[in-house]
Amino acid sequence: MLKIDIIGTGNVGTHLCRAFADKADVVAVSSRLLSGLRHDSDIYLISVTDDAIRQVAHNIAGRIPSSAILAHTSGTTPMDALDGCAAKTGVFYPLQTFSKNVGLRYDEIPFFIEGSDPETASLLKSAASAVSVTVREMDSQNRQDLHIASVFSCNFINHLWALAAEYLADKGIDFNLLHPLIRETVNKIGRVAPYDAQTGPAVRHDTLTIDRHLEKLGDDSELSGVYRLLTDSIMNHHPREASGGDKTIQ
Amino acid sequence: MLKIDIIGTGNVGTHLCRAFADKADVVAVSSRLLSGLRHDSDIYLISVTDDAIRQVAHNIAGRIPSSAILAHTSGTTPMDALDGCAAKTGVFYPLQTFSKNVGLRYDEIPFFIEGSDPETASLLKSAASAVSVTVREMDSQNRQDLHIASVFSCNFINHLWALAAEYLADKGIDFNLLHPLIRETVNKIGRVAPYDAQTGPAVRHDTLTIDRHLEKLGDDSELSGVYRLLTDSIMNHHPREASGGDKTIQ
């Protein structure tokens, strides 16, 4: 059974410990104390904020066996941030949104692996495969592309919901009324590409509705700014000539 | 059984005809020809683009019984757009994203009703209740608020997915790899408020990651613009002092 030390007890580290609980011999190690660090593990996973990875890696260097793999779990930090800290380095990136108190199905989380040599990549892939059905090798450049896309696809959309919820709360309207709409919006992209699933006033170039909305949002410069930018972007991507008859909106 | 004429054969009209198929005596009428319009129906639902509602209402006026209700299905058009076209007017707004070729569970769609008098509102509510379990009265102002929130919560998020898919396609990466992340992002808001579910570099004020992303997006002014605006908005809504320890991100 693989021995894995997970350094960092934030959301990602906590979930990785749970994911490996019955798949590997795993321990959680505080990134500040490093007191629980074992001296004979196969893999050391650094799961801390991006700006702390280098420092933690340097603190660990020399305290792990020369045969061990030192890897981090970041989407955006390149693998070479670990250079000089171990002979075998890698990346072990689970693409998911983690909150400590929200349970997850780990087998559905895609893992993206990088290794400083083929053998290292192979061992990290087999570790990830113990947890998930989707494991891929990906270099640091493409992993960063994926991370950027995940910011658009997860973090930004969640914030748009937060803005909508705040706007509705101010009017005494329950945000939960939007849940069926949101669920269906997500259901659609499982069946058609998001570009083809676009609905709404912008894709219809319905300037009457857009002007009414902007008039209503007039006092709120933040919401107006977001509304204008995303409406213009939709219009640019869906020129009027290309708008099909099958694009309607509520 | 209620007799309902649905004027307009776009996405919404088409789906309303299906929704009422075995709940009412329903016909679909082309908004241009009006040739199938019946002379003895209880409800006439105008389901056309917002800028065509007034014209269609005027074309119908005088061709329907004085006891009938004339209503539209728009989120943003006020009820008074129908003034002068019938004695009884109303709004029958289904809050959902409709595409002709994508099936829906109609009983989950919230309907928002308005009537020019209590009896009219009551009849429209009973018609909606034949289809859906969620039927509410809502005035034109609040319905417009809800429509604006739905643009943020559905149309804009779908466009962010389209932008992410386009960005990844350009790098040869499959957008479908993000589906588990997107599904979990939606699952979370069923359990916690979107504000509390926020993850990502912006809520952590992780300027190292943000700068790396912006550097990578540098050539693309559209994506950079959206990234900057939404990142600033998240930071404004989550000042550093208030960022809890349970906010981490991949």
Rounded to 5 degrees, what are φ and ψ at A137? -80, 140
List pLDDT tens digits, range A234-246.
999 999 865 444 4
Question: Cβ separation of B233 and A159 shorter than 8 Å?
Answer: yes
Q: Identify the closest residue of chain B to A156 by CA–CA distance.
A: B230
Residues of chain A contacting residue B95, judged by C-beta atoms under 8 Å apart: 177-178, 180-181, 250
**Sites in chain A below the pLDDT cut of 70:** 241-250
- Interface size A-B, in CB pairs within 8 Å, comes to 372
Q: Identify the closest residue of chain A to B138 by CA–CA distance.
A: A173
**A190: three-class secondary structure by DSSP:** coil
Which residue type, as a one-letter code, is found at position A25?
Answer: D
In the prediction, which pLDDT does A100 show? Answer: 77
In the prediction, which pLDDT does B215 show? Answer: 95
Closest partner residue to A164 among B109, B153, B199, by Cβ?
Answer: B153
CA atoms within 13 A on the CB side of A14: 16
User: CA-CA distance, B185 to B198, in Å (whole number)?
Assistant: 9
Question: Cβ separation of A181 and B208 shorter than 8 Å?
Answer: no
- List the pLDDT tens digit at each of the 250 positions of chain B: 999 999 999 889 999 999 999 999 999 999 999 989 999 999 999 999 898 999 999 999 999 999 999 999 999 999 999 999 999 999 999 999 887 777 888 999 999 999 999 999 999 999 999 999 999 999 999 999 999 999 999 999 999 999 999 999 999 999 999 999 999 999 998 889 999 999 999 999 999 999 999 999 987 789 999 999 999 999 999 998 654 444 343 4
User: CA-CA distance, A135 to A130, in Å (whole number)?
Assistant: 10
Question: Cβ separation of A162 and B198 shorter than 8 Å?
Answer: yes
Question: Cβ separation of A212 and B250 shorter than 8 Å?
Answer: no
Our CA-based measurement puts residue A241 at a distance from the nearest CA of chain B, in whole angstroms, of 17
List pLDDT tens digits, range B5-19.
999 998 899 999 999
Exposure string of A8-36, with b = 16+ CB inside 10 Å and e = fewer, is bbbbbbbbbbbbbeeebebbbbebeeeee
Question: Cβ separation of B159 and A194 shorter than 8 Å?
Answer: yes
Q: Identify the closest residue of chain B to A187 by CA–CA distance.
A: B183
DSSP-assigned beta bridge partners for residue A45: A6, A71
Q: Identify the closest residue of chain A to B188 by CA–CA distance.
A: A102
DSSP-assigned beta bridge partners for residue B46: B7, B72
List pLDDT tens digits, range B88-114.
999 999 999 887 777 888 999 999 999
Question: Cβ separation of A150 and B102 shorter than 8 Å?
Answer: no
Question: Cβ separation of A99 and B197 shorter than 8 Å?
Answer: yes
Residues of chain A contacting residue B216, judged by C-beta atoms under 8 Å apart: 144-145, 148
In the prediction, which pLDDT does B98 show? Answer: 84
A150, A207, A227, A243, best to mutate vs chain B, most B CBs in 10 Å: A150
User: CA-CA distance, A12 to B178, in Å (whole number)?
Assistant: 17
Question: Cβ separation of B110 and A180 shorter than 8 Å?
Answer: yes
Which 3-state string (H, E, C) describes chain B?
CCEEEEECCCHHHHHHHHHHCCCCEEEEECCCCCCCCCCCCCEEEECCCHHHHHHHHHHHCCCCCCCCEEEECCCCCCHHHHCCCCCEEEEEEECCCCCCCCCCCHHHCCEEEEECCHHHHHHHHHHHHCCCCCEEECCHHHHHHHHHHHHHHHHHHHHHHHHHHHHHHHHCCCHHHHHHHHHHHHHHHCCCCHHHHCCCCCCCCCHHHHHHHHHHHCCCHHHHHHHHHHHHHHHHHCCHHHCCCCCCCC
**What ipTM was estimated for this complex?**
0.91
Question: Cβ separation of B183 and A180 shorter than 8 Å?
Answer: no
Residues of chain A contacting residue B222, judged by C-beta atoms under 8 Å apart: 233, 236
